[in-house]
C-alpha cells in the first residue's frame, strides 16, 4: 500500500491480443513477392566461410527459394558448440545477395545485432526461439527496429506458450513494424519424442485461426532434427495452408558445423518442391478439395494427439497395475471407476459430447487399462 502511495505508478494500459486482428497489411511484404507457390527460405544453419555461403547461394539461385538464410550469431543450448562467425558473416550474405539476387535473412538476438544487420542491409530478420521467450530482449530488439521497414519473422518460443509467442509479435507491431510473420519451429519437451522439437500443430493452428493475416512459415528442420521427415512435415504444413517454409540447406550436410543431421542439399530441396502437393486456390472444385484437405489435416493432428494421450494414459495404468500387484490390491475398483465416469460425463456435456458417447469411449478406455494392469500383474 505504502509503495503505491509514495510512487505515482500508473498501471499500464492492457494490451489486447486482438491488436493485430484483421490486419491485411501484415502480409504486404509477402504479397509483394507475387509468388505462385509458398515462400521458400533456404540456406545453411550457420554461415561457416565466405566460400560456403556463396556456394550454397549459387546452388539455390535458380530454385524456388527466394530468401537465403544463414545464422551468424548462433544461440546454442550448451556452450562449446560452434557459436557462429559473428558480424564478419554479414559481408558474406551481402556478397551472396549481390551475386545471386536472393534476399537475405539472419537471426538477431540483441539491439547490437540489429544495428549491424541494418548496416549490412539484411532484408529479413528473424527472432530465434530462445529470444522469443524473453520479453525484455524482444522489446529491446523491437525498439532498435522502430522507424525501419524491415520484415521480422518471429519463431515460436521454446516452450509451448501461444501468449508468449503472440506477445513477441505485438511488441514489434506496437513499434510500428508492420511487415511481420511467424515461424513454427516446434517446442521443447523433456521426454524424448521422434522430433527434436515437438510440433504441437494445434498451437500454430490456433494462432492461424486467430490471426489469419499473419504469415505463418514452417521450419521443418528444427522440428525434425533429422532430414528423413522434412518432406512429410512440409506436406503437413502446406496442407494446413502455411504461407511458406524455412529449410536448412547445405551442400555437405553431414559436415555442417551445426545441425548436421537435419540439413538437406539444395538438390534435395528442388526434388522436394517438385514432390510436394502444393495446392493453388482456383475454381470451385479445387477450392472445395483444398478446404476439405485442410480440415482433414486438422483432424489428423488431433487424432495423433488422441493416440499419444491414450498411450500416456496406459503407461500410467501400468504403473498403477504394478503398485496394486505389489500391495495385493484387486485391479477393479468400482468406486473409482464410477467417479471417473461421472466427471467425464459432465465434462463431455460441456464439450457438446453425448453421455452415450462418453460411456462408450470410457468403457473402452477402461477395459484397455484393465488389460494393461492384468498384463503387469502377470509379469
Ligand atoms: C536456427 O534457425 O538455426 C535456429 C537456431 O533456430 P531456433 O531459434 O528455432 O532454434
Ligand atoms: Mn539450425
- Asked if residue 367 has pLDDT above 80, the reply is yes
Q: How far is CA 8 from CA 2, 4, 15, 161, 164, in A?
A: 11, 7, 21, 33, 28
Any ligand 1 atom below 6 A from CB of 196: no
Cα 165 from Cα 230, distance rounded (Å): 23
Cα 156 from Cα 166, distance rounded (Å): 9
What is the pTM (predicted TM-score) of this model?
A: 0.83
Per residue in 73-127, pLDDT tens? Answer: 998 778 888 899 999 999 999 999 999 999 999 999 999 999 999 999 999 999 9
Per residue in 266-280, pLDDT tens? Answer: 999 999 999 999 876
Helix, strand or coil for residue 64? coil
What nine digits make up the cell of 250?
Answer: 547445405
| Exposure b/e, 149-188, CB count within 10 A at least 16 = b | ebbbbbbbbbebebebbbbbbbbbbebebbbbbbbbbbbe
Atom 8 of ligand 1, residue of closest alpha carbon: 128
Any ligand 1 atom below 6 A from CB of 69: no
> Taking residues 167-184, what's their average pLDDT?
96
Centroid of ligand 2 to alpha carbon of 315 (angstroms): 33
Model pLDDT, residue 11: 52
Q: What is the DSSP letter of 134?
A: -
The H or E element containing residue 238 is helix 230-239
DSSP assignment of 330-378, as one string? Answer: -S--HHHHHHHHHHHHHHHHHTT--HHHHHHHHHHHHHHHHHHHHHHHH
CA of 74, nearest ligand number: 1
Any ligand 1 atom below 6 A from CB of 45: yes
Chain CA centroid to CA 271, Å: 23
Pocket test for ligand 1, best of 43, 75, 106, 246 (most atoms within 8 A of CB): 75
Q: Which of 146-150, 188-192, 276-280 has the lowest mean pLDDT?
A: 276-280
Centroid of ligand 1 to alpha carbon of 290 (angstroms): 31
Mean pLDDT of all residues in the chain? 91
Residue 283: which pLDDT band, with cuts at 50, 70 and 90?
low
Any ligand 1 atom below 6 A from CB of 129: yes
- Asked if residue 14 has pLDDT above 70, the reply is no
Q: Which of 166-170, 189-193, 246-250 has the lowest mean pLDDT?
A: 189-193
Amino acid at each position: 500500500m505504502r509503495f503505491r502511495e509514495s510512487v505515482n505508478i500508473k498501471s499500464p494500459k492492457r494490451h489486447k491480443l486482438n491488436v493485430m486482428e484483421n490486419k491485411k497489411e501484415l502480409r504486404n511484404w509477402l504479397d509483394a513477392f507475387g509468388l505462385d507457390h509458398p515462400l521458400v527460405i533456404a540456406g545453411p544453419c550457420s554461415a561457416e566461410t565466405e566460400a560456403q555461403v556463396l556456394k550454397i547461394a549459387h546452388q539455390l539461385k535458380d530454385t524456388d527459394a527466394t530468401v537465403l538464410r544463414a545464422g551468424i550469431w548462433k544461440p546454442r543450448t550448451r556452450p562449446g558448440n560452434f557459436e557462429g562467425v559473428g558480424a564478419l558473416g554479414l559481408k558474406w550474405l551481402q556478397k551472396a545477395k549481390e551475386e545471386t539476387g536472393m534476399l537475405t535473412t539472419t537471426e538477431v538476438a540483441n539491439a547490437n545485432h540489429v544495428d549491424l544487420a541494418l548496416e549490412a542491409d539484411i532484408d529479413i530478420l528473424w527472432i530465434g526461439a530462445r529470444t522469443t521467450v524473453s520479453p525484455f530482449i524482444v522489446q529491446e530488439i523491437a525498439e532498435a527496429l522502430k522507424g525501419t521497414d524491415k520484415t521480422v519473422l518471429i519463431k515460436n518460443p521454446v516452450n509451448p506458450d501461444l501468449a508468449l509467442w503472440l506477445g513477441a509479435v505485438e511488441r514489434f507491431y506496437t513499434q510500428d513494424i508492420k511487415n511481420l510473420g511467424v515461424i513454427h519451429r516446434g517446442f521443447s519437451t523433456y521426454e524424448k519424442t521422434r522430433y527434436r522439437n515437438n510440433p504441437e500443430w494445434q498451437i500454430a493452428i490456433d494462432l492461424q485461426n486467430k490471426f489469419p493475416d499473419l504469415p505463418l512459415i514452417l521450419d521443418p528442420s528444427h522440428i525434425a532434427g533429422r532430414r528423413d521427415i522434412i518432406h512429410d512435415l512440409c506436406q503437413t504444413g502446406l496442407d494446413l495452408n502455411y504461407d511458406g517454409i524455412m529449410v536448412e540447406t547445405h551442400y555437405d550436410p553431414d559436415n555442417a558445423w551445426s545441425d548436421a543431421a537435419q540439413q538437406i542439399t539444395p538438390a534435395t530441396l528442388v526434388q522436394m518442391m517438385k514432390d510436394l502437393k502444393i495446392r493453388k486456390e482456383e475454381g470451385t472444385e479445387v477450392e472445395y478439395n483444398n478446404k476439405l484437405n485442410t480440415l482433414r489435416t486438422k483432424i489428423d493432428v488431433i487424432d495423433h494427439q488422441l493416440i499419444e494421450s491414450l498411450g500416456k494414459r496406459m503407461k500410467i495404468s501400468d504403473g498403477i497395475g504394478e503398485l496394486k500387484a505389489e500391495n495385493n490390491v484387486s485391479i477393479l475398483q468400482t468406486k473409482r471407476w464410477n467417479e471417473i465416469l461421472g466427471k467425464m460425463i459432465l465434462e463431455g456435456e460441456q464439450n457438446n459430447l453425448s453421455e452415450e458417447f462418453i460411456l462408450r469411449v470410457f468403457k473402452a478406455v477402461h477395459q484397455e487399462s484393465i488389460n494393461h494392469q492384468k498384463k503387469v500383474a502377470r509379469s
